[in-house]
Every structure is written in C-alpha cells, then in structure tokens.
C-alpha cells in the first residue's frame, strides 16, 4: 500500500485528515468571534452576540485596540475563550473630533495572552498566546505547551499555525520538545 504524505506535517494523508477534522472546529472559532462584531442597530435581536467579561477594560484609542484584562471570558454560540488578557485590534474608519476613537470600521486582529483556553464544540486548544489575523485568516498558537485535544486525540507543539482559507496547518516543535500527535482509532 502506497502512503501519501502531507507536506505540512510530514504525516500520512489519513492522519492529516483526522487531525484536520479535530482542528477544524477550532479553526472556525476565532474567525466567528472576530468577524461578527456587535452591530448596535441589531443589538436586541442578535443571536450571534459576543459576550466578553473581564476585571478591567482599557481603550487604547490612538493605538487602535481595546484591552480586556484579568479573568477574561469571551463567548459566542458554542465557542468560549478564557485568557488573562484579550486585545481586540480594530481599523479606524475616520477621525472624528466628537469621538476620539473615530468610527470603528472592522476588527483587524485578536490577541489572547496568558493561560489561553479555546473551547469549541469538538475540542479544546490550550496555549500561552493565540493571535488571529482577520484579513489573512491565520490563527497562530504559540507557547512551549500549545496543544489541541479532541476526545482522546491530541496534537501539540511550540507553534501551531492554522490557515483558514486552505485548511492548512503547520505545527513546529521547540528546542526541548518535538511535535507530538496522539491518535486513537475508533
């Protein structure tokens, strides 16, 4: 039997498909939160609302981001992100003398920093830092113990890069720890 290997992970194709099946729900979690910023016009009827709680909120108007600090919890539908700090970067549409923030055009980047846990329908991602670049549709998990678990199956490494557009993933090991994937067949 000829094995087809996935270039990104250097794994047989069937393992790549299984890993992608486990990671796909997580790959869609941050884009949902980032792309569906609350619209005040639909605030009463929005079932896709994003609910963020934290100990503290700081607006960095000139720098273009909000920073939620301490016991942060962001929820949307079945996705829950908990972290020490969540930075929501945005693009300004225009300057406005009456509103120093200007008009917020769109969210450009999300950063979850410190004890990051992303719960999705089929699994949990745990990492030190998660960055989602909206325009590029790229999610990067970094930290020596970054891990995604779905049931008993896990994949871990120091850096996990998920490309949403073409459903491509790259997992890198660190200086002291190699990439590890554990799969239990049904």
Domains of the chain: 24-35+52-182 (2.60.450.10)
Torsion of CA 65, 157, 12, 22, to 10 degrees: -50
CB 113 within 8 A of CB 87: yes
Q: Are 76 and 88 in contact (CB under 8 A)?
A: no
Residues constituting the chain: 186
User: What does the pLDDT profile of the chain (186 residues) look like in tens digits?
Assistant: 333 334 444 444 444 444 554 454 444 455 555 544 444 444 444 556 778 899 999 988 888 889 999 999 988 888 899 999 999 998 876 555 555 544 556 788 899 999 999 888 788 889 999 998 888 888 899 999 899 888 899 999 999 998 878 878 899 998 888 999 998 887
Whole-angstrom CA distances from 168 to 9, 158, 179 are 10, 17, 16
The structure tokens 């920073």 sit at 67
User: For the whole model, what pTM was predicted?
Assistant: 0.71
Most distant CA atoms of the chain, gap in Å: 69
Query: Cα(110)–Cα(133) distance, rounded to whole angstroms?
Result: 7
């Amino acid at each position: 039997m000829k094995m087809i290997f996935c270039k990104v992970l250097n794994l047989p194709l069937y393992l790549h498909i299984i890993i992608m099946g486990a990671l796909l729900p997580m790959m869609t979690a941050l884009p949902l939160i980032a792309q569906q910023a609350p619209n005040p016009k639909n605030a009463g009827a929005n079932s896709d609302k994003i609910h963020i709680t934290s100990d503290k909120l700081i607006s960095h108007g000139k720098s273009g981001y909000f920073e939620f600090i301490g016991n942060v919890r962001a929820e949307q539908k079945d996705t829950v992100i908990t972290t020490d700090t969540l930075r929501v970067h945005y693009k300004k549409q225009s300057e406005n003398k009456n509103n120093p923030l200007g008009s917020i055009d769109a969210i450009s980047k999300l950063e979850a920093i410190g004890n990051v846990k992303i719960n999705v329908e089929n699994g949990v991602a745990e990492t030190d830092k998660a960055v989602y670049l909206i325009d590029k549709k790229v999610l990067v998990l970094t930290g020596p113990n970054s891990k995604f678990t779905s049931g008993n199956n896990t994949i871990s490494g120091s850096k996990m890069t998920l490309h949403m557009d073409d459903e491509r993933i790259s997992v890198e090991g660190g200086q002291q720890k190699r990439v590890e994937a554990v799969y239990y067949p049904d």
